[in-house]
Each structure stands twice: as structure tokens, then as C-alpha cells.
Amino acid sequence: MRRPLLHKLAAAFGAAALLAVAPAAPVRAAGEAPPLPDTRFSFEGLFGTFDRASAQRGLQVYMEVCANCHSLRQLSYRNLTGIGLSDAQVRAIAATVQVQDGPNDEGQMFERPGRPSDRFRRPFPNDAAARAANNGALPPDLSVIVKARAGGADYIYALLTGYADPPAGVEVMEGMHYNRYFPGNQIAMAPPLNDGQVTFHDGTRATVDQMARDVTTFLAWAAEPELEERRALGVKVVLFLTILGGLVYAVKRKVWAEVH
Amino acid sequence: MASGLHQSDFKNPVVRWIDARLPVFTMMEKEYGTFPTPRNFNYLWNFGALAMVTLLIMIATGIFLAMNYTPHVNHAFDSVERIMRDVNYGWLLRYVHANGASMFFIVVYVHIWRGLYYGSYKAPRELLWMLGVVIFLLMMATAFMGYVLPWGQMSFWGATVITNLFSAIPLVGDSIVTWLWGGFSVDNPTLNRFFSLHYLLPFVIVGVVFLHVAALHITGSNNPLGIDPKGPQDTVPFHPYYTVKDSVGLVAYFVVFAVLVFFFPNLLGHPDNYIPANPLVTPPHIVPEWYFLPYYAILRAVPNKLGGVVLMFSSILILFVLPWLDTSPVRSMRFRPIARIALLLWTVAFFVLMWCGSQPPEGIAVVLARIGTAYYFAYFLVILPLLGRLERTLPLPESISRPVLRGGGPLPAGAAVKPMEKA
Amino acid sequence: MAETLATHPGAPLGAEAAHGAEPEHGGGKRRDFLKLVTGAFAVVGTGAIVWPFISSMNPSRDVLALSTTEVDLSPIQVGQAVTVVWRGKPVFVRHRTQQDIEAAQQVPVSELRDPQTDAQRVIKPEWLVMIGICTHLGCVPLGQKPTDPHGDYGGWFCPCHGSHYDTSGRIRKGPAPKNLVVPPYTFTSDTQIRIG
């Protein structure tokens, strides 16, 4: 009679340990912002994968829009094969930017076309220059932005599409913009996306929603390029462990049968 | 004997040759082969072995991560990202290591709780228990310093807040903090020494674990009934009975571990730690890792700086004297109806404190944290000493293999004796 | 004490002792097979765990991405040589003179310790590209600068143990067993090569 209670307790202890943590995150994240819209991204769920076409369009949005202010310094052009680009395409994309190299034999730094092994070019040489060019606000690096914000991809998408006129009575400071999802609602970044701002190579209509969705997909990939490999390996590992667990449990039953 | 060699019983000549000169095989056989172990363990007794395995996993992944990590404020964050992106299976090593810390604490908390529930801290296992508390303290220090290494915002501000705790010490507090930092704020010297100590401490833990296990093998294991084995009928050899049972628990544990690592690797982390450390901007809401939340809540429950720090450290140090605070001669809570409820309430208080620690220090969270803190200490300082005198415990079974019957009569010889292992 | 306890699990309990001491044969066999399969699974699993650790010590992706080096040949005058770094090693690129080429081509292959014709060692005769590491014990031979000793055969000379290489980088004298190694390289244009 005593045992079931104990088992329940043990289970409750374990479950509570996990649950006690889980609710903490949303509470921290929400602040006064409205709940994030649930965007159904291709990479969500246990077995989701990155929509390659979307990620490639997102790359285009990043390079034509975001890259003017935001760096992506953890990534190299060679990484782009991960969203389905060929080596030749990667070479071509890398060659469109000029990167600084050197010093040469005369001790001078020089510019040369980018190579796949180069990191993504940074728009500003340092943080101070970035602030100076942006009214004192520092555009954050986007390499791991999806992992660095509570709400992840949903938050990035919500932020990009969350610009609106301030509600009555809300005074927006000079140089700031009202955004429903930004903590405190006042963001230094001007609305970055406008309908038709880029011309997608694949002919997709460049609505704000489409661009936000695509660039979020791209950034989600940039933050977790290992995601697909990780989940695929995870499925194998869990399957293997399940079978092993069944076998070990059978052995255990046999071994203990003699004692019982 | 004459030649000073150990008398080895092993048949294999190589094993025998080694064993005669260095009886490691005899020792292994004695301590992990034939070691008489109470036959009535439940699965809560798996968690010691799980903790040991987790420690080894942490050391293995840690060593390989260290091959690629750069302990410098300008490179630490990037070197971790390089591990995630460029090093072969680097993401796996890092996620196993990061989530392994959480798994380690889950396992050790269950292990400690089992000790509390079944009175494993009582005579003659006081020193065994105290060594366990030492391991726990070392683990906390190691985990704290490890969390600083990625040099994200939470790393930096966690390090700042925790090291500042020592500034509460009267007179020398500030000097101690400066000494800890090796400078006037958390900076490169701090990161370097934390890396050095984070690498060292796990091996110290291994040493104390060895003592912990050595002490265990002197007293023998406690068991769910909390009574001593009366003879061979009450025990089984460790191998194969508990090696296989620990293996069952281990595989189940690995499944949970794998699901966390492969599918929810950042669930227990904090997004702010993917923002590189910035000494000029504190995140709006800083929280420690989940396993420190109860102690963080105790710290903040007290409106006085020194008082909070003292109480927080006391909440763990009090475990050292627990064997003498609980004066009841009955070990297992199964036979202590009131103490059992008191312990369950203590468990609830622990989780309430954990929740409070995750909340901003205002409103209901503060009230609950104070109630929780009061009960946390009252359990050890008031309830257990009192219950030791006042509680009417249930009758103890005659022996492990003969659990007491409701009527208290002797067990009929033919009745199948189901060990407690499987209910 | 331990041994006595161990050999008789549950001995005093009659029913169990009999059960434990004499396991049915069928059951015993099945358990053995089961144990075998389980053991095999466990060994495979352990092996699989070891692999990521080993693999993590192999060159990482960023290191592999830098495994090619491009060299612009246009500034190198006839008779000059440059040293470039490829995969952390010095690579000698020499713009050979006509005399160098002729000297290299006229050597009878039979005279060589490591027989190779000059044509086997170059893509274009005027450009000699090779890894500048002595095949004896890994020193970097001299001979890149005009002021360096060039050895008895007008090529390179390794100061560590006195190996002499000719104008094709072939070992002619001294302890080194092999010619200087030619790395894989291609001409991406008339004046540019990619090593690796």
C-alpha cells in the first residue's frame, strides 16, 4: 500500500522539477507585449526542416535590407550551402562583397572580392561606428538572434510585422518607432520592410508578411544550422535507446526472477 | 603470503598475475561483484549510479570542449559558436555538456531527496551523508563557473551578482570580491580563473565521490525499510542484480537526456545567454540557472543583504548537521507518518521557492518566498528535533525479507516473500 | 563475509533457494541469448558514443574551408621565389630561369635517389611549386632568397642535416629519402594558381 504513494511522489518530483522551470520562461518574456502570433514555420515541430526556397529568399532580404545595419558575424559564405545553394552560387554571392585583407608585402591593408571562407561582411567596422550611424542605437548581430530572444522565430516575425501607429495617448520619442511586440513598444529600428522592397529571384510576391517570414526562416537557420542533423540523429538515438531499454529490462526481469 | 603477494582466486593467468601484485580485480569483485546489497531497493536507488555516470559524461564532453574553447573575453562567445558550427559534432558535445549540468542536478536532487525520505543520513552513515553535501557544494561551484564560460549576458551578470554576494562580509568583503575578480569588475582575469577552476573542480569531485563510495561500502547501503539487513537472506550480490537494475534506470535516463539534447536543447537555458556579455547593460530580469532558483529565492526573501547571504549559505550548510538534528531512531519515513508529511511539505516548499526564484522580487513571490524559507529551515531546526521526541512511529518489520504483517504475526513459511523491489 | 553472502542469495528461504540454484534449462538458455543481444547492443551504443569525440578532433569545417590557398604569380620575376602558407606549411613557388629548367631536365633519371623526371614535377616548366619541408626530418630548406646557400645542385639546401636539392627540388645528396613534395595545385588563370 505504501509503494504506490512513493512512486507517485517520485514521478511528481521529477515532473515538477521540469514544470517548475517551464512556466518561468513565458512570464519573463511577455512583459506588457501582446501574445506572439503563432506563425507556422517549416522548421517547427519535432521533425520540421528548413524550407530551402524560403531561406534563400530570406538570404536575399537579409543581404538587400538587413545587412545595411546588422552584422551576421558568426556565419561565413561557405555556410550557405546549408540552405541549398551550390558551391558556384556561394562563390558568386561571396564575390559580390569587398572584404578587407592584408597586410600585403608593403604593409597595407587592401580590399579584395570575398571568398566562400570569408565571414559575412560587417556593415560597420566596430560597435561605436554602428552606434554613431544609428542615432546611438546598436543594431544587434543577427547570427543567433532567434536563440537570443524569448519567443524565438515567432518573436522575430512578430517584431518585423508589428509596426503600427501608436495608440492614442502614447507618446513616441523622437527617432523611435512604435512596435506592438518590442518590449517597451518603442524601437529605434525604423520599419525595415515595405511591400515590393526586394524582387525575389523566384518570382514570389514580396509582401511585408512574405519577406518577414522568409528572413525569419533564414535567421532561424543561421542560429541553428545543425537543427536538421540534430533532430535526425535524435530520432535514431531515441529509437536505439528504446530497443536497448526493452532488452535490458527483459534481462533484468530474468535475472530477478530467481530472487522473487 | 610469504613473498608478500596477494592470494588471488582468479583463473585467468594475466588477471591473476596482476591481481597478485595489485589486487584491483579482487577489490572490484568484492565491492561491485559480490558486495551484499539489500534486496529491496526501489528505483530511487538508481540515482547514485546515474550521478556517477553523469559526472563521467560531463568530464568527457568537457575535456573535448576545452580543446576548442578560448577563455578570453574577446573570443569566448565566438569560440563557443565555432564549436556549435564548425567543430565536428561540436553542437552535440556542447548541448550534452550544457544539458548534462541540468540533468546532473535533477539526478542529484532526487538522490538527496531519497536520502531525506529514507533517513540515509542517520547513524552510521553521517559521514557518508556529509561527503555527499561536500560533493553537492563542489557541483554548485563548478556549475556556476561553467555557466560563466560562454560569456553571454547571463554568464556575465550571473558572475557579477554571485561574486558580489561576498561583499556582504563585514570589513573584508570588498577586498575579497576584488580578489575573486582579479580586478575591479568581472573581466578577463575572472574568466581565466573560472575556466581553470571549472576544469579542476570536477576532478576534485571525483576524489570526493571515491570517498563517498568508500564510506558507503563500509556501512553498506540503506534501503526503503531503513532497517539493517539481518543476514544473507536480506541481501543479494551487487552483480548481477543491481548492475542490471542500474542499467535499466540508466537507459531510461538516457532517453530523457537524449530528448532534451536533440529536441529541446535550449529549453532549460536562458535566451539572454546568446547575447554576448556587455558590462554596460544589465538584462531587465536576471535569473540564475533553474537549479539555483530555490537558493536565489531564499537570498531575496531577506530584506537585509548580509542576512540574505548568510541564510542562503545556511540553507545548504544545515545539511551537514542534519544527522544530529533528526533524533528519531527510525530511518525510513514509511514508518514516520507525521515526519513524512512534514518532508512532503518541505518538498513543496522547495518547489515553491524554485518558482519564487524565477519571478521578479515583488508581490506574491516575495510573500511565498518568505513562507517557503521559513518552512525550509523550520523543518530542519524545529520539526525534526521535535518529532524525534514526540512522534509515534509505526512498528518496524522484523527483517527485510519478512515485512511485518498488518496483524504483526509471523509470516507463514510458504507465503511468497515478495521483495520490495517490485510492487 | 561478502563471498558467503553472495553465493547464497536468499538461501534460507526454501522455495527461493531451490528456484535460484537450479534455473530451468530453457529459461537459462533464453537468458543467455538475451544477454548476448543486449550486450551486443550496449557495445554498439558505446562505440557510437565514442565516435563524436574522436571526430571532434579532426579538422573542423572552418579549418577545411581554408585548405586551399590562391597565389597570384604575376609579381614574381624570373629567378625569384616566394614562400606562401598552405595548411600551415610553407610552399615554395619559384619562377625558374631557363638554366634552372635545362639543368633539371638534363639529369638522367637513373642517377636519382627518388627517380622523377622534371616534367612529372611541374605543370608549366617555368613554375616550380612544392612544399618547403625537408623530407628527412621536417626542417625548412634554405634557397628561397638569392643570398641563401643553394646547395651543390643550385636548388635548396637543408641546414639541419645537409640535404641538397636540385632545381627541380629533387634530393641529390644528404640523408633525405625523397624529393620535396609537390602539392596538388591547378592554374586558375595564366598568372594564378590554387593550391589544395
Which CATH number fits the domain that encloses residue C94?
2.102.10.10
B92 chain-A contacts, CB cut-off 8 A: 230, 233
User: What pLDDT is attached to residue B411?
Assistant: 44
Determine whether the interchain pair A20/B42 forms a contact, defined as Cβ–Cβ distance below 8 Å: no
What's B318's domain CATH number?
1.10.287.980
- Which chain C residue lies closest to B237 (C-alpha atoms)? C6
* Chain B touched by A233 (CB under 8 Å): yes
Interface contacts A/B by beta carbons within 8 Å: 139
Nearest to C167 by CA among C70, C81, C74, C72: C81
Instruction: Tell me: do C136 and C176 sit in the same domain.
Output: yes
Least confident range from A46-55, C29-38, C56-65: namely C29-38
Shortest CA gap A205–chain B (Å): 32
Nearest to C143 by CA among C106, C180, C114, C102: C180
Distance CA C58, CA B118 (A): 49
Determine whether the interchain pair B355/A23 forms a contact, defined as Cβ–Cβ distance below 8 Å: yes
Instruction: Tell me: do B292 and B386 sit in the same domain.
Output: yes
- Beta sheet of C69-72, edge-to-edge order: C69-72, C192-195, C185-189
* Chain B touched by A26 (CB under 8 Å): no
Instruction: Tell me: do C42 and C133 sit in the same domain.
Output: no
Shortest CA gap C66–chain A (Å): 6
Does residue B414 lie within any of the structural domains?
no
Partner residues linked to C130 by β-bridges: C92
Which pLDDT tens digit goes with each residue over B376-416?
999 999 999 999 999 999 999 989 987 644 444 444 444 44
Candidates B78, B244, B268; nearest CB to A252: B244
Nearest to C119 by CA among C110, C132, C109: C109
Instruction: Tell me: do B359 and B276 sit in the same domain.
Output: no
> In 3-state terms, what secondary structure has residue A177?
strand
Instruction: Tell me: do B340 and B245 sit in the same domain.
Output: no
- Beta sheet of C154-158, edge-to-edge order: C154-158, C163-166, C171-173
Nearest to A236 by CA among B367, C167, C138, C44: C44
Which residue matches cell numbers 543567433? A144
Determine whether the interchain pair B89/C14 forms a contact, defined as Cβ–Cβ distance below 8 Å: no
The reply to whether B245 belongs to the active site is: yes
Q: Are C108 and C117 in contact (CB under 8 A)?
A: no
* Chain B touched by A240 (CB under 8 Å): no
The pLDDT confidence band at residue B2, using thresholds 50, 70 and 90, is low
Most A CBs within 10 Å, among C36, C41, C76, to test the A interface = C41
Strands (E), C11-68: none
Instruction: Tell me: do C34 and C79 sit in the same domain.
Output: no
Does residue C72 lie within any of the structural domains?
yes
Instruction: Tell me: do B54 and B97 sit in the same domain.
Output: yes
Does residue C12 lie within any of the structural domains?
no
Handedness of CA A65, A71, A77, A81 (dihedral sign): negative
Determine whether the interchain pair B232/C12 forms a contact, defined as Cβ–Cβ distance below 8 Å: yes
Instruction: Tell me: do B240 and B303 sit in the same domain.
Output: no
Instruction: Tell me: do C77 and C48 sit in the same domain.
Output: no
Instruction: Tell me: do C49 and C70 sit in the same domain.
Output: no
Instruction: Tell me: do C49 and C105 sit in the same domain.
Output: no
Q: From the candidates B234, B289, B391, B421, give the one annotated as an active-site residue.
A: B289
Average pLDDT over residues C54-68: 90
Candidates B254, B334, B416; nearest CB to A2: B334
Instruction: Give the rounded distance of the alpha carbon of B41 from its chain centre.
Output: 19
Does residue B143 lie within any of the structural domains?
yes
Which pLDDT tens digit goes with each residue over B137-185?
999 999 999 999 999 999 999 999 999 999 999 999 999 999 999 999 9
Q: Which of B281, B308, B324 is where one domain is finished?
A: B281
Candidates B30, B90, B231; nearest CB to C56: B90
Sequence length of chain B is 423
Instruction: Tell me: do B182 and B291 sit in the same domain.
Output: no
Q: Which of C36, C58, C80 is where one domain is finished?
A: C58
pLDDT higher than threshold 80 for residue B348: yes
Distance CA B397, CA B332 (A): 11
Partner residues linked to A187 by β-bridges: A177
Most A CBs within 10 Å, among B86, B114, B262, to test the A interface = B262
Q: Are A193 and A208 in contact (CB under 8 A)?
A: yes
Instruction: Tell me: do B244 and B359 sit in the same domain.
Output: no
Residue C29 burial (10 A CB sphere; 0-12, 13-18, 19+)? exposed
Rg (CA), chain B: 24
Q: Are B166 and B173 in contact (CB under 8 A)?
A: yes
Distance CA B334, CA A6 (A): 9
Does residue C40 lie within any of the structural domains?
yes
Mean pLDDT across chain C, nearest whole number? Answer: 82
Cell numbers that stand for B333 in this block: 519515513
Instruction: Tell me: do B295 and B243 sit in the same domain.
Output: no
User: What pLDDT is attached to residue B419?
Assistant: 43
> In 3-state terms, what secondary structure has residue B415?
coil
Which residue matches cell numbers 519515513? B333
Strands (E), C133-191: 154-158, 163-166, 171-173, 185-189
Which domain covers residue B146, as residue numbers? 26-281
User: What pLDDT is attached to residue A135?
Assistant: 87
Instruction: Tell me: do B72 and B129 sit in the same domain.
Output: yes
Nearest to C2 by CA among B21, B15, B28: B28
* Chain A touched by C113 (CB under 8 Å): no
Candidates C34, C45, C66; nearest CB to A117: C66
Residue A79 burial (10 A CB sphere; 0-12, 13-18, 19+)? buried
Mean pLDDT across chain B, nearest whole number? Answer: 92
Q: Which of B228, B259, B281 is where one domain is finished?
A: B281
Q: How many domains does chain C have?
A: 2
Q: From the candidates B111, B122, B198, B245, give the one annotated as an active-site residue.
A: B245
A251 chain-C contacts, CB cut-off 8 A: 31, 34-35, 38
Distance CA A153, CA A218 (A): 10
A141 chain-B contacts, CB cut-off 8 A: 276
Distance CA B115, CA B393 (A): 18
Instruction: Tell me: do C33 and C84 sit in the same domain.
Output: no
Shortest CA gap A83–chain C (Å): 16
Q: From the candidates B217, B239, B305, B358, give the one annotated as an active-site residue.
A: B217
What's B105's domain CATH number?
1.20.810.10
* Chain B touched by C25 (CB under 8 Å): no
Query: CA separation (Å) from A70 to A59, B210, C182?
Result: 13, 52, 44
User: What pLDDT is attached to residue A58?
Assistant: 96
Does residue C73 lie within any of the structural domains?
yes
Instruction: Tell me: do B129 and B205 sit in the same domain.
Output: yes
User: What pLDDT is attached to residue B63?
Assistant: 97
Least confident range from A137-141, B89-93, B379-383, C192-196: namely C192-196
Query: CA separation (Å) from B157 to B163, B280, B284, B295?
Result: 10, 10, 11, 17
Distance CA A42, CA A48 (A): 6
Q: Which of B281, B312, B328 is where one domain is finished?
A: B281
- Percentage, residues of chain B above pLDDT 70: 94
* Chain A touched by C67 (CB under 8 Å): no
Determine whether the interchain pair A226/B84 forms a contact, defined as Cβ–Cβ distance below 8 Å: yes
Shortest CA gap A249–chain C (Å): 10
Average pLDDT over residues B254-276: 96
Instruction: Tell me: do C179 and C97 sit in the same domain.
Output: yes
Most C CBs within 10 Å, among A258, A259, A260, to test the C interface = A258
Average pLDDT over residues B233-258: 95
Does residue B193 lie within any of the structural domains?
yes
Does residue C20 lie within any of the structural domains?
no
Q: Are B188 and B237 in contact (CB under 8 A)?
A: no
Does residue B156 lie within any of the structural domains?
yes
Does residue B21 lie within any of the structural domains?
no
Q: What residues of chain B have any CB closer than 8 angstroms to a CB in chain C?
A: 30, 33-36, 39, 60, 64, 67-68, 82, 85-90, 92-93, 231-233, 235-237, 241, 401, 413-414, 416-417
Q: How many domains does chain B have?
A: 2
Please report how the helices B90-117 and B126-148 are oriented relative to each other, as an axis angle in degrees rounded to 10. 150
The low-confidence residues of chain A, meaning pLDDT below 70, are 1-33, 260
Domains and CATH numbers, chain A: 37-75+119-249 (1.10.760.10)
Instruction: Tell me: do C124 and C85 sit in the same domain.
Output: yes
Distance CA C158, CA C177 (A): 13
Candidates A240, A247, A259; nearest CB to C9: A259
Candidates C9, C13, C53; nearest CB to B237: C9
Q: Are strands C81-86 and C192-195 parallel, antiparallel or unpaired?
A: unpaired
Q: From the candidates B79, B120, B155, B221, give the one annotated as an active-site residue.
A: B221
User: What pLDDT is attached to residue B180?
Assistant: 96
Shortest CA gap A203–chain B (Å): 32
Does residue C189 lie within any of the structural domains?
yes
Determine whether the interchain pair A255/B244 forms a contact, defined as Cβ–Cβ distance below 8 Å: yes
Average pLDDT over residues B333-339: 96
Does residue B121 lie within any of the structural domains?
yes
Determine whether the interchain pair B67/C1 forms a contact, defined as Cβ–Cβ distance below 8 Å: no
Which pLDDT tens digit goes with each residue over C43-58?
999 999 999 999 999 9
Which residue matches cell numbers 595564366? C190
Determine whether the interchain pair B44/A244 forms a contact, defined as Cβ–Cβ distance below 8 Å: no
- Which chain C residue lies closest to B254 (C-alpha atoms)? C45
Instruction: Tell me: do C134 and C89 sit in the same domain.
Output: yes
Determine whether the interchain pair B88/C60 forms a contact, defined as Cβ–Cβ distance below 8 Å: yes
Cell numbers that stand for A205 in this block: 510576391
Instruction: Tell me: do C54 and C80 sit in the same domain.
Output: no
Instruction: Tell me: do B246 and B231 sit in the same domain.
Output: yes
* CB environment C58-80: b (16+ within 10 A), e (fewer): eebbbebbbebbebebeebeeee
pLDDT higher than threshold 60 for residue C30: yes
Shortest CA gap A239–chain C (Å): 12
Does residue B102 lie within any of the structural domains?
yes
* H or E element, residue B36: strand B36-38
Nearest to B420 by CA among B22, B8, B44: B44
The pLDDT confidence band at residue C17, using thresholds 50, 70 and 90, is very low
The reply to whether B289 belongs to the active site is: yes
Q: Which of C37, C58, C79 is where one domain is finished?
A: C58
Determine whether the interchain pair B274/A144 forms a contact, defined as Cβ–Cβ distance below 8 Å: yes
> In 3-state terms, what secondary structure has residue C188?
strand
Determine whether the interchain pair B417/C14 forms a contact, defined as Cβ–Cβ distance below 8 Å: no
Nearest to B191 by CA among B154, B146, B143: B146
pLDDT higher than threshold 70 for residue C9: no
* Chain B touched by C18 (CB under 8 Å): no
Read off the pTM.
0.86
* Dihedral over alpha carbons A198, A204, A207, A210 (to 10 degrees): -100
Does residue B15 lie within any of the structural domains?
no
Instruction: Tell me: do C48 and C69 sit in the same domain.
Output: no
- Which chain A residue lies closest to C43 (C-alpha atoms)? A244
Distance CA C150, CA B87 (A): 42
User: What pLDDT is attached to residue A19?
Assistant: 44
Amino acid letter, A182: F
Which domain covers residue C190, as residue numbers? 64-195
Distance CA B164, CA B190 (A): 13
pLDDT higher than threshold 80 for residue C29: no
The reply to whether B217 belongs to the active site is: yes
